[in-house]
Amino acid sequence: MERIPILRMGRFLIVSIQVDMHDRLALTLQADLAARITETGAHGVLLDISSLEVVDSFIGRMISNVAATSRVLDAETVVVGIQPAVAITLVELGLSLPGVRTALNVEKGMAMLRQATVHLDHAADLDSDTLSESPDGSAAM
């Protein structure tokens, strides 16, 4: 069955949607992502939807569900690369994704995730492959 890959990068998970979303795929992604977050103990999820040209209310709700699920599992979620047309559609559908962080592109999204999880740098139980951050935690918002 078709699946959307979930990549691990340090303490973050990266999901890049490169195909047309359909409902089954969205549900599978939700389940897979929740499983992976628990499995890896990731602290952040980056959802790249820059290739998504068409959204409907279901996909919109899926995005906000993914974010809510991740938050419950203690992982920050940033949705990046929403196209103008998609943004307008979501707003017209009344889905303004409250509580979901957004960023313009992957780079800014990663920066946002790092900043949001910078306080975890000092924690002892981090994996050895964690991205290095400056020990100065004063930049945290």
Partner 1 sequence: MADTSRAVRSDSGRIARVLEQDSSELLDAWVAAQSGVLSLRGSISPNELRAQSREFISLLQKAAANNPAGVTGPGWEDVRAFLADLSSSRAIQGFSPGETATFVFSLKEPLFKRLRRAADSDADVLATDIWNATLMLDELGLYTTDVYLKSREELVSRQQQDLLELSTPVVKLWDGILALPMVGTLDSNRTQIAMESLLQRIVETGSDVAILDITGVPTVDTLTAQHLLKTVNAVHLMGAECIISGIRPQIAQTIVHLGVDLEGVVTKASLADAFRTALQRTGRSVVRATAPAAPTNERDRA
Site string for partner 1, 53-82 (x = CB under 8 A): --------------------------xxxx
Token pair, residue 76, equals 């920050």
Is 19 an interacting residue with respect to partner 1 (CB under 8 A)? no
Residue with tokens 């890896």: 40
* Min dist. Cβ of residue 60 to partner 1 (A): 10
* Min dist. Cβ of residue 82 to partner 1 (A): 5
CA angle 19, 62, 94 (to 5 degrees): 110
Question: Which residue from 92, 125, 129, 136 is in contact with partner 1, where contact means CB under 8 A?
Answer: 92
Neighbour-count burial for 76-97, b at 16+ CB within 10 Å, e otherwise: bbbbbbbeeebeebbeeeebeb
Q: Given the rule CB under 8 A, which residues bind partner 1?
A: 79-84, 86-88, 90-92, 96-97, 102-105, 108-109
